Structure 1
Amino acid sequence: MIQDETTSPGYCLLQLLQMDEPLPVPEHEIPYELASCIGCVGGRVCIKNTWFHGALHKGLVKNGPACTDTLTNQDLVPAFLCKSWPAEAQPWLGRQGIGIWPTEEMKRYCENTGCFVVSVSSKSGLYEEFEWRISTSLAERFLMFSLNITQMRCYIVMKMILKTFINPRCNGVLSSFMCKNVLLHCIQNTQSNSWRPSNLLACLTCCLIVLENFVGQINCPHFIIPENNLMVGRIFPRNKHKILEILQNIIRSEGRALLEIPIDNLGPTLQVRMSMYGAFQYYCTSAEIYGKISGELLHLLSRFVSAVHEKLIKEILKGNDDVQEIFSDFTFKLVNTYREIGCYSLKKSALKLLIPLVCSSLGSVVASSEINDHSVISRKALACFSIGLDSDVSSGRLKLASAMYCLGDMIRTEFVLRNIEDLYDLNIVEPVCRYTAFRCSRTRQGFKDKSSTGNEELIREIAAFCVTFTRYEINCVPQELKYEMFRSTQEDMIERHHILGYWMDWAVVDSLPYLYFLQYKTYGHLQRAAAQQQALTNLVTTIKTESNLYHNETALNLLGQCMEQENRHNDALRCYMLSLNIRARNNAANFLIPKLLYAFANRHVV
């Protein structure tokens, strides 16, 4: 097996060896009877991918690497067996997703299955006649047999959707194999308890969103060999937009599109079942109604707490005096007011939720000044951070981790980040931003279930506020996030809302992407490469699949700068362009793109 710069990822050349010893066959010794299926590539005698054609009888229909026997309705795939695991698939054995799947035991089994090479070339290879595709089909077969019923149903319905809605209108550009890889990526990067029968529609929607993202990027990475893009040469601009439109309509239909699927009588069967149970679907028990109202109220309260916190910061920053002193005095007054109010007061409950957020901001302002002056964080700042830890699941802790990171204390930073990841249950915790009022988002079922008690202090356990840094906290902010504080040109300022646009002079980022970004940077400093790559994978997955993010453009800008660090400059540019698609003005991407191109022009990057 030969792999070099001329072969596409996931493909190889097969060099002919002598029968009696493992040495290459010289060009002048090519057997006459093999001349038609052997040729020379770069001085090597290599086998053409038409090698098996002479052994196949007539009546077989060629379909990629497979040949279909129309009489028996069987697929035959001639291939060479390779007993060793392919080198390109080696990183997969060490990769781990959110779902902790596949397990280490499953990966060990897959590694021992070896691989095949099948007679099909890539769409972009230099030597189309000689390329052979590396197939990990035995490992994939084993993974598919390990799926539960919900995961199998997702795969089957995805295939039905392709056959019904997409391929008839788009010349069959998407394949079942792509659906399989989309499903495996989703399983690896979601919590395992999400894949249950009652959650089938949400799981299917997750798969369709990932497929939509792959189509948008024209890149469907092979699950085991992600460098192998399954969409190369299959999707072009003229059908890309049509596919995206169809997928978006199906996703927005919230399951109603399934009623139009005739395959296996799926649509009519669903219609009948809906008619049978339709009379009961609008009736809820008192407990269910109470739980739903409690969930909505808690979500609304979370947004108001976030909004009041930001408004207080805005008012404090208006003064021209010592901001740190004003902040300290104001926080002191809040704490004293809280102590003086009676036990059963709504004001006391409100202050109990607000004070930790204000303390986190004060701690960050103090720490920023101290890091700048003395490269230390005082007890006063740490005490403020400590009070702010329980403001919610993540934002207070992320402020502390960010300060520790900027101080250079990577051990403590990693400890805090690990604690946040343990607390952040992806099935329950709901991202919260004051700007949620302008977005139509659905809260998680786990959030609704937990909030049914009506206890407002649950915000600390099931809500994740956005992390907000003002310019007075700039020394507690990693360099990559500082660009967000200077996102606006004079022309951009005109585009801002005259009342609500003040936050654009700050750095505001959703908690979950910031968690994974800080993990990526911290593990890089600690030289823990596997953990760093896992953090990068989690960051990519979150941006692709988390529908309730409110600062996607900032998350994409952070991801782009991670890609620059990985020397994946095309991917970095793609992230910045996606960010601009979300927010064309008042976006740091407008500075990051010229910075990247300048580095290219001056050969600062390879």
Structure 2
Amino acid sequence: MFQEPEYRENLSLALSEVLDDIGVNERMVMSWRRGKMLEETTRNIINMLPDINITQYYLGSQSEATTTIGLHSDSDLLICFHDWNIIQDWSEWEHGKRNYLMIHDENTTPGYCFLQLLQHEVPLPATYIPDEKHITDRSGRILLKNTNFNRIIPGSVGHGPSNAVQGQPGVCDQDYVLAYPCKSWPQSASGWLGRQGIGRWPTQDMRRYAASTECFVVGTGSKVSEYPELEWRISTSLAERFLMFNLNITQIRCYVLLKMILKSFLNPQGTINISSFMCKTVLLHCIENTESSIWKENNLFICLTYCLLELHSCVQNDRCSHFIIRENNLMAGQFTAEKKHELSKNISDFLQNDRQMLLRNDIDDLGHRLQVKLNIVPHGAYYYQSSLARHESYMTYYYVNRAYCIRDIHHFVLKHLHTKNIRTMKHYIGKLITFNVNGNRLEQAACKFLAPFIFTTYGSILASFSIGENNQVSPEALVWLSAGLNSDISSSRLKLASVFYSTGDMEKAEQILRHTEQQYDSYPVLTIGLCDSPPPRVAAEFKRVCGEQSEDCIKHIMSFCVTFIQKEINCVPHELQYEMFRSTQDDMIHRNQDTNYWMDWAVVDSLPFLYFLQYKIYRHLQRHQDKRQALGKLIRTIATDVNLKHRETALNILGQCMEQENKPQHALNSYLISHQLRPRNNVAIIHICKLLSRILAGQ
């Protein structure tokens, strides 16, 4: 703990180099933050299209870029509802709105408040209880309970104020926190604005900007409260995110090390004793109360030790003051005397044996890497990812998460378009174009990724209407379909090819398919599916491209499934139209409407659909050799592509091709395998019945 200065400096530099190799460096931090802010902006643009009055914010480690692959951090999303007016002063009351007054008195825990219901028409307290979500306290005030606020997100598990949803394989888990915005900066946080520590951090400009960010109330009470079901926690999370964005790389690395120590030694086997938020708060206090010149790479080990000593003091004193609302004790009621003693001993033991403990830390191979850097073992003694390989892994993880976000948001729009008319859809697109032209840089970047998918869907819907009327594609439909061609490597192009196929323009369809197949030959491509599935297997070549390219590479190396909603039915080959009617009445009982909404659409992986369309077109053009090659590619893709997300659909269209080839046994085998893969909500059972009926009729 009290080593020589030269030793501490050498250890600090070695730790800094190791964390740089792991990916905790300025380049990755900036890339990761931009990515999360881009996702946040995209989500909020989409909410504005149908005038959904909520705003979503990414918070915590994923947005701050204060995590690593080995820490397995969740992604925290705060969902803010703007339909209520949460005020601190009567002057903030608004006519006709649901108004609540924040109450701070002797019964509320510091950092928390009660929400008193006010009248709609006049700025006076409400006089009657409107529903079971409210209760009258001993003073006659009508207060809002927090127990009814945190509606459980479908598929989630409630944890305090958050709802945890397990992510798809290869994608981080998601924690949702529901909140209401405060009309103004909370009075309990006003003292922080004038506070100034030794390090003169945050600066006054930073404090003023932080105070301009939105604050929230979150539906959870303190563990030491007498009225936990009535308390609402005051959240300054956006101000805290802003402060984290203003840390230097040494401070970020110190926080990452604290979390590694927390996970390995203080919260072992998944137990949660000291939270990462407590560690973050300790770090911020330490930065505020030390000279800024200390936070340099060659002092990283000293900074880490200082933070651990401060954390140890917090545990011993049962007090960790919130960085902005000092009266809020984050450790109040958190630890029993036995747990407090255990944690205090664990931190002391670590401080006494810090070097050995760091060398034993296996998160992201930290210990092994550190042994090599300190020449304790020779290079090659341990196998771990090189810094280049780790960078490629980070960027792959980043781009895959980004692609899944685009997919989720696109399908959120599709669910809305499924029930809307053309005028509404055109209104959405007008808003999207406005953001693209007049928005800030993040809004323009978000539109660049999202707009092509929506343009393609809109063009396909227009084409379906015109094909239904006169078997032609209207010029307007072609304009929108052309505008969306670069959504990704394949899906929008395949939709356009399907439109031309549906009108009988085989030559144009064949040209598009040939060009799309060439794109597959030019890049390593990863399939992004719609439903839950095993994690995608990522080829080394794909990782290499991710490591070298900018975020635009998503358009060149990602293959989204081709998705047709029912409004596009006239653009869908009849073999695929069956997929829109996959569910019997009995199947519907076994459908989760929140996750299986897509089962009323036709959804197919891009590559099988490409080969299927080639087969159909070459069959029509009587190019028999090309037809056989396309069918062979379809069969091989279904048999060998481990990343197919809708293999059962591919098998269903293969079976129909086999029927057209007059190979009923091969067709039946395809349908049976499809049915085995997805026993319910699978149109294979209809194909089997139809085929058997024809076979029996023929006999």
TM value normalised by structure 2: 0.45
Which among 398, 401, 418 is matched to residue 494 of structure 2? 398
1:499 maps to a residue whose letter is: D
Specify the SS of the correspondent of 2:464. Answer: helix
Matches within 5 A, 1:222-301: 279-285=381-387, 287-301=388-402
User: Kindly tell me: are residues 291 and 283 of structure 1, through their superposed partners in 2, closer, same or farther at Cα, counting changes over 3 Å?
Assistant: closer
Question: Does the aligned pair in 1 maintain the 2:530–2:645 contact within 8 Å?
Answer: no
Alpha-carbon separation, structure 1, partners of 2:429 and 2:542: 30
For residues 103-144 of structure 1, the C-alpha deviation after alignment (integer angstroms, 9 at most, x for no partner) is: xxxxxxxxxxxxxxxxxxxxxxxxxxxxxxxxxxxxxxxxxx
- The alignment-based identity, stated in percent, is 42
Q: Provide the C-alpha distance between the structure 1 equivalents of 2:403 and 2:645, rounded to a whole number of angstroms.
A: 14
**1:307 and 2:408 correspond:** yes
Equivalence for 1:461 = 556
Match of 2:695 among 591, 600, 604: 600
Deviations 1:28-85 (A, max 9, x none): xxxxxxxxxxxxxxxxxxxxxxxxxxxxxxxxxxxxxxxxxxxxxxxxxxxxxxxxxx
| Deviation of 1:279 (Å) | 2.8
CA shift, 1:469, in A, is 0.3
Q: Which residue of 1 aligns with 2:282?
A: none
| Counterpart residue type for residue 685 of structure 2 | N
Classify 1:367/1:284 alpha carbon distance in 2 versus 1 (closer, same or farther; 3 Å): same
Query: Who is 1:216 aligned against?
Result: none
Secondary structure of residue in 2 paired with 1:425: helix
Alignment-derived partner of residue 650 in structure 2: 555
Q: Deviations over 1:552-585 (max 9, x none)?
A: 0000001000110111100100000000111001
Deviation, 1:283, is 4.2
Q: In the alignment, residue 411 of structure 2 is paired with which amino acid?
A: E
Show structure 1 runs of 5+ residues with no match: 1-275
Distance in 2, matches of 1:426 and 1:441, equals 20
Aligned to 2:531: 435
Deviations 1:391-441 (A, max 9, x none): 0000000000001000000011111110101111386011112435x4222
Among 581, 584, 602, the alignment partner of 2:676 is 581
Q: Secondary structure at the match of 1:464?
A: strand
Matches within 5 A, 1:61-210: none
Secondary structure at the counterpart of residue 489 of structure 2:
coil
C-alpha displacement of 1:599: 1.2
Partner residue in 1 for 2:467 = 371
Determine which of 387, 405, 408 is the counterpart of 2:504.
408
Write the distance in 2 (CA, Å) between the matches of 1:380 and 1:332: 15
Q: Which whole-Å CA distance do the structure 1 matches of 2:535 and 2:518 have between them?
A: 28
What CA distance in whole angstroms lies between the structure 1 residues aligned with 2:385 and 2:411?
40
Aligned partners of 2:523 and 2:460: how far apart in 1?
30
Partner of 1:261: none
Could you tell me how far 1:498 is from its partner in structure 2?
Answer: 2.7
CA distance in 2, matches of 1:599, 1:549: 30
Deviation at 1:451, TM superposition (A): 1.2
For 2:381, give the aligned amino acid. Answer: A
1:39 match = none
Contact 1:295 1:454 in 2 (8 A): no
Higher RCO, 1 or 2 (CA under 8 Å, sep at least 6)? 2
* Consecutive unaligned residues in structure 2, runs of 5 or more: 1-377
CA distance in 2, matches of 1:398, 1:283: 38
Residues 151-183 of structure 1, C-alpha deviations (whole Å, 9 max, x = no match): xxxxxxxxxxxxxxxxxxxxxxxxxxxxxxxxx
Aligned counterpart, 1:330: 428
Residue in 1 aligned with 2:446?
350
Q: What's the RMSD between the two structures over aligned residues?
A: 1.7
Aligned residue among 479, 483, 507 for 1:383: 479
**Which residue type is aligned with residue 438 of structure 2?**
E
Kindly tell me: are residues 601 and 300 of structure 1, through their superposed partners in 2, closer, same or farther at Cα, counting changes over 3 Å?
A: same
With normalisation by structure 1, the TM-score equals 0.52
Among residues 395, 401, 417, which one is paired with 2:513 in the alignment?
417
Q: Give the residue type in structure 2 aligned to 1:533.
A: R
What is the CA distance between 1:492 and its match in structure 2?
0.5
Are the counterparts in 1 of residues 453 and 492 from structure 2 also a CA contact under 8 Å? yes
Hey, what does 1:475 align to over in structure 2?
570
Find the aligned partners of 1:498 and 1:478 in 2 and give their Cα distance. Answer: 26
**Secondary structure, counterpart of 2:596 in structure 1:** helix
1: CA distance between counterparts of 2:385 and 2:393? 13
Q: Distance in 1 between matches of 2:385 and 2:391?
A: 13
Counterpart amino acid of residue 397 in structure 1: R
Measured in 2, the distance between the counterparts of 1:433 and 1:573 equals: 26
The residue number in structure 1 matching 2:600 is: 505
SS of equivalent residue, structure 1 residue 524? helix
Deviation at 1:373, TM superposition (A): 0.2
Q: Deviation string for 1:185-221 (max 9, x for gaps)?
A: xxxxxxxxxxxxxxxxxxxxxxxxxxxxxxxxxxxxx
Whole-angstrom distance in 1 between the partners of 2:484 and 2:506: 21
Shift of 1:289: 1.8
CA contact (8 A) 1:294 1:454 kept: no
User: Structure 1 CA distance, aligned partners of 2:445 and 2:662?
Assistant: 50
Report if aligned partners of 2:581, 2:683 keep a CA contact under 8 Å in 1: yes
Name the SS of the counterpart of 1:390 in structure 2.
coil
Deviation (angstroms), 1:454: 5.4
**Matching residue's letter, 2:390:** I
Q: CA deviation at 1:290?
A: 1.6
What is the CA distance between 1:485 and its match in structure 2? 0.2
Across the two proteins, how many residue pairs are aligned to each other?
A: 322
**Post-superposition CA distance 1:229-260 (Å, at most 9, x none):** xxxxxxxxxxxxxxxxxxxxxxxxxxxxxxxx
Instruction: Output the CA distance in 1 between the equivalents of 2:635 and 2:435.
Output: 44
Give, in angstroms, the shift of residue 463 of structure 1: 0.6
Tell me how far apart the structure 2 counterparts of residues 558 and 441 of structure 1 sit (CA, whole Å): 23
Partner letter of residue 566 of structure 1? E
Alignment partners' CA distance in 2, 1:278 and 1:593: 58
